[in-house]
Structure 1
Amino acid sequence: MLTPQDWHHEIKEHHERAYTLVKSQPWLIPTVMIVHLIPVALTIHGFWKNRALHNQLKIEREKTKQLALAQVEHVATKVKAPHHCPAMIHDHLCRHFKH
């Protein structure tokens, strides 16, 4: 395990090598920045896409609930409606079951 002094020395050497590399090849700065920004951009895009899909899912669930409620109300009105048989069928059934 590195002691704090050794660790500080290693970090200092690393920074010096990086500074020398960037000073000799300055085109690396925008390239490295772009490479680091790609995951950030993908994360942001994924977050907003997930949020939009979540909101769409909420809307679809609410539509489904409204349709189910409308269907229940429709069935309830049909069941509560008075039942009217045509007179001919009613007379036929009454005669059939009286005998």
Structure 2
Amino acid sequence: MRNSDNDLRRRVREGDREAFAQLYEAFARAVYHHGLRLTGDWSTAEDIMSETFLAAWANRATVHEEGAPCRGCWASPPTRRTTHGAACADGSCS
């Protein structure tokens, strides 16, 4: 992982809104498309993206300086939880 990635993670962890905006710009599209693939609904995918980044901001103190082996892996668990929640809200989960 590059030093600039570690610096960005550190800044996000410390509550730097500009750093979080950079993180959003880097990953919002991928999170949206992941939600769209999982749900097939663009509106739900937008909600998933929003809720994923809200959860990421709320839990920013847990961002590790040394990240996951792939860029953006930090977003996968909240995206899955939010997608599951969206499916359950409309009665499609058991």
Larger radius of gyration: 1
TM over 0.5: no
- Tell me the TM-score normalised to structure 2 length: 0.28
Q: As a proportion of its length, which structure holds more helix?
A: 1
